[in-house]
Chain A
Amino acid sequence: MIRVAKLSKTYRGASGAVHALRQVDLEVARGEFFVLLGPSGSGKTTLLRSVAGLERPDGGEIELGGRTAFSAARRLFVPAEERGLGMVFQSYAIWPHLTVFENVALPLKQGKKRPGRERVRQRVTEALKLVGMEDYAARPAPLLSGGQQQRVALARALAVDPEVLLMDEPLSNLDARLREDVRVKIKAVARELRVTVLYVTHDQVEAMTLADRIAVMADGRILQAGAPDELYRRPASPRVAEFFGAINWLRGEARAGGVVETEIGALRLAADGAAGRVVVGVRPEDVKLSGACAQAENELAGVIRSAVFTGGEFLYEIEVGGKLLLARAMSDREALKGSVFVRLPCDRIALFPEGAP
């Protein structure tokens, strides 16, 4: 549905050139919920705005539904208003001089197709119902709360019946609880309408819960694209791994037979084939703790230096072989103290050559 090839965009300012996009390739299937995840300045918003037609890239191509919307080689640029998309903005961009109904109706009345008055009314009502705002149709926009504005913005984007829905950090201005509610709503609506969604966020939890697939971006490049669990379990680089939460890094030397000699001792890995200097990573939630020795593989003795109660779980700092490891454990039992045994399951250890990005 969306195909982006070799897309590049450079901003030239007083302080030099900024490469917002460097040869980005991307393919989003029909009906897919695709999330662009990255820190600010990674190029994710530029990519989204290029697909929308709000930015004009310097090089590459964009196809929407099999039609070329932008091609640098053919000097072709279909302006945003002709691309037939729906979009939800970070600021919601609800028009303050109009009511809720008028906000949703304006693109229908003033857009390219302009269906009849009765049809517009019907479409607006359906769209508002979809987001649960049908009772607020007559309300002036400035009287809406942030969450309500967000839902009106979604209704407005859906009312034009787009095949592709673009969303630019739509939840970043909502408070934490509301964010969860709206997130669930967005996912449900997208599934119900089978609309293709391209969604930008810097929040990895948001990305993981919403996405069919995620592309992690940094410095104008896509570092890795794939299903959420794939990115979480098999990150292509330490940088991607760090994006999905804290991780314990250990330096080491790979030996034959899948063994890595690390700074805290020898570890056996499920993966084989690495050689030379490497780094291995273990997520805190994968670090297993027990008070007694189980004589198991990759088991090391350590001392608990701190334990923080965070509600559902404990966050431990454990000194192992002169290095501090982070570990998470359920808080259904009492906190561990003193000497413990730490086990690092061999299938939960990620391995990268040293110096990988």
Chain B
Amino acid sequence: MEDFMSPARNLKFETRDPRPFRITQRSILISIALVPAAAIVGLLLIPVWVSIRADTDSGAVFSLNAYRALFSDPFSYRTLFNTAIFSSVATLTALSFGLPAAWIVERTTLPRKGLVFTFMTAGLLVPGFLSAMGWVFLLHPRIGLVNAAIGAVFPDWRINIASPLGMGFVQGLGLAPLAFIMTAATFRSANPELEEAAAVHGIGSVRALLRVTLPLAWPGILAAAIYILTIGLAAFEVPAVIGLSNRVFTFSTYLYTQVHPNEGAPRYDLAAAFGVFVMALAGSLSWLYFRVLRHGHRFAVVTGRSYRPRQTELGRSGVVFAWMFLSLYLFVGQVLPLLTLVWSSLLRYFQLPSAAAFANLSLVNYRGLPWPHLIDGLKNTAFLMAMVSTLVLALSLAISWIVVRSKARGRFLLDAVAFLPHAVPGIIFALSAAYVALFVLRDWVPIYGTVFLLLAVYVLERTSFGTRMLNNALAQIHPELEEAGQVMGIALFRRMARILVPLLAPAFLNGWLWIALLTYRELTIASLLVTPDNVTLPMVIWGLWQSGSFTRAAAGAAMGLVFMLPFVAAYWFFGRRLAPEGFKA
């Protein structure tokens, strides 16, 4: 007890006068956070700069030639029109599966619906370009399984998947899980008292659904629609797999062909001009998204209070019908294309399932895979998965801490900048990064064609996801838990290591798995930045596909699915409770 009674106590801080630049742990943290923020802003300004300059004999001059060329070419308008059809159809398809599924899971008494949630979230992880390949095998005008079946009955009828409509449908099936998760959140947070009021006043359940539930959820649904539309606008994988070989272009594939043309020199200026135009479009949509969300709060439906939403009683036939609907989506939207892909990988040439076809199954496509190339891709992809996830979480912790915890001036601007990669199509980031690496950094930092260029751009792109997730996770942790450590003498980095990181461990684990899986399937950015020296697994598969050896590409894709299994298993055991807020396909 003498210890406490001792006269030697603790008030012995120095009262040094301030120097203008004192290096504190806080200022180090802010510097760390500013690096990705500056890089993001830089990468977004590059297309603007590239699009308004022209090289002449006497050096670069200001010029609007790129915009003039872009908007005088009918091909640009056709691409825009295709993109509009494609993204609208994708949004409609995604909502028409995702919205009813969300309502069923959140607002009915369907048994075992936790399973639906798991499958739907897992659906987000199915690589879009693999499903797209499967759909080509199903609905290709000449070789498609379904078209063959239709042709047997109606000789003149074909479903053409290689159209903006068809591609939009495929993209929409892939985005349905996102629509599900976003609208489920809306249904979950709706105040049940408003519906109970309707019930008490004798309004039947179907009319209550149409007159009360849906109008209340409307802002959330609209916000989800805008969000999905923005993603559709930027989507690359489905148009690249289905459209490119059939010369049906949307925005992202247009950009790709301008930079990687079949003939002639790359047109960075045209790509940049189109990029700036779409950036403005995507920016407006994001602004609209936030406006709708804020408007939604005016109804005071979405509150922080945890309600137990009113659940509609499903009868026996209702349960059967609901499960039929959900299974139909899961089978057609997720399982069937992948099954078709595996089936195709076992055939020498594509044919319908039949006794003869089964007799002909072989592993010849697997033996014919360019294995050294594939292993190189796998190694790079594994390296990227580990590094991207770790770096994104580290940078996101720095940014989110400043945004959520510090009172630093400009922290909301920092948050907005970290969010930008979310709003801007990934292919534009890739375009800027390729330009910078090739024409600006070339002589000082020879980063083009290395895996580190991919690492840098992947990290910047995913930091938006990481900060959304950690912003939420940090807000759940009472600030006094940190302040207690602070007042009692624990410095910032030690507080982070000993208090914050352990408390955030579940979020970190979930986030790490998600980012790793998103990195595994990443094709968009890679398409512009990969060379033979830094190839990734998805690029190897896509390369096989582009070269026209479809069944061999299917074998590569099947191998891709196999490599993914351990991570899907890990996600199944640890990560599935994470609602991937801030997800971007």
Contact = CB atoms under 8 A, between A and B. Distances in A.
Is chain B found bound to chain A in the same assembly? yes
Interface residues of A, number: 53
Given A68-B15, A126-B3, A163-B9, A89 B483 contact: yes
Contacts of B492: 81
Nearest to B478: A91
A157 B4 CA distance: 12
Contacts of B5: 193-194
A254 B494 CA distance: 65
B17 interface: yes
B10 A161 contact: yes
Interface in B295-337: none
B485 A107 contact: yes
B478 A87 contact: no
Interface stretch (B77-85, B174-182, B497-505, B564-572): B497-505
A162 B17 CA distance: 24
A333 interface: no
Given A74-B17, A84-B10, A111 B487 contact: no
A126 B1 contact: yes
B478 A93 contact: yes
A161 B488 contact: no
Interface in A15-55: 52-54
B290 to A, nearest CB: 16
Contacts, number: 132
Contacts of B11: 64-65, 67, 83-84, 162-164
Among the interface residues B14, B490, B491, which one has the most CB atoms of the partner chain A within 10 A? B490
Nearest to A122: B3
A97 B499 CA distance: 8
B481 interface: yes
Contact of A110 (B9, B18, B24, B485): B485
Interface residues of B, number: 35
B13 interface: yes
Contacts of B364: none
Contacts of B3: 122-123, 126, 161
Contact of B18 (A75, A81, A106, A163): A75
B484 interface: yes
A96 interface: yes
Contacts of B478: 91, 93
B480 interface: yes
Interface in B1-45: 1, 3-6, 9-15, 17-18, 24
11 contacts: A65-B11, A77-B18, A78-B14, A84-B489, A85-B487, A86-B488, A91-B478, A93-B478, A95-B499, A106-B499, A110-B491
Q: What are the 8 closest A-B residue pairs judged by CB atoms, nearest first? A: A111-B489, A84-B10, A107-B488, A65-B11, A93-B484, A93-B480, A163-B9, A87-B487
Interface of A: 52-54, 56, 64-65, 67-69, 74-87, 89-91, 93, 95-97, 106-107, 110-113, 122-123, 126, 130, 153, 156-158, 160-164, 166, 192-194
Given A96-B503, A153-B484, 16 more contacts: A52-B483, A53-B486, A69-B13, A78-B15, A81-B486, A81-B492, A84-B11, A86-B487, A89-B484, A93-B480, A93-B484, A106-B490, A112-B491, A126-B3, A130-B4, A166-B487
